[in-house]
Amino acid sequence: MTNSCIFCKLNSYILENDMAFVIYDKYPVTEGHALVIPKRHVADYFDTTDEEKRAMQELSEHIRDIQNEKLSPDGFNIGINCGEAAGQTIFHVHMHVIPRYKGDMEDPQGGVRGVIPEKQKY
């Protein structure tokens, strides 16, 4: 835990297990956009333990079930930004679980490839 990390300061969660928790994103891309976050302060996903990865995966599936039940999305994007060059702005690893809806963008083909817009279409 660090004093300056906003995720380390949180104490209210949607879901949690021994090693991770889920919150809704403060600036959601779509309705229901959630974050899965390990409880241990670690900046990069690739530095998490196998147990933390499993805990995050378990919660990502659980929040997906909740999103399906409450929001009936048509699809999902799941992603983790690792490093400043990849767009990471909070250096406590967090997995985005983003419900997607038909019509939420004109042409979603290429999905997460859209992080570099001119490379999205292939």
Query: Is 33 marked active-site?
Result: no
Q: What percent of the chain has pLDDT over 70?
A: 98
Please report the DSSP string for 69-115 in residue order. HHH--SEEEEEE--SGGGT--SSS--EEEEEE-TTSSS--TTGGGGG
- pLDDT at residue 2, rounded to an integer: 63
Q: What is the CATH number of the domain that holds 44?
A: 3.30.428.10
Q: Is residue 2 assigned to a domain?
A: no
Most distant CA pair in the chain, distance: 44
CA–CA separation, 54 and 116 (whole Å): 29
3-state secondary structure of 33: coil
Q: What is the pLDDT of residue 1?
A: 59
Taking residue 109's Cβ as centre, other Cβ atoms within 10 Å add up to: 10
Three-state DSSP class for residue 2 = coil
Identify the active-site residue in 33, 92, 94, 96. Answer: 94
Domain count for the chain: 1
Is residue 1, in this structure, part of any structural domain at all?
A: no
Domain enclosing residue 103, as ranges: 15-120
Judged against a pLDDT cut of 80, whether residue 21 lies above it is answered with yes
| CA-based torsion, 33, 61, 9, 44: positive or negative | negative
Model pLDDT for residues 85-104, shown as the tens digit of each residue: 999 999 999 999 999 999 99
The pLDDT of residue 3 is above 90: no
Asked if residue 45 belongs to a domain, the reply is yes
Please check whether residue 6 lies inside any domain of the structure. Answer: no
What average pLDDT does the chain have? 93
Quick: pLDDT tens for 55-96.
999 999 999 999 999 999 999 999 999 999 999 999 999 999
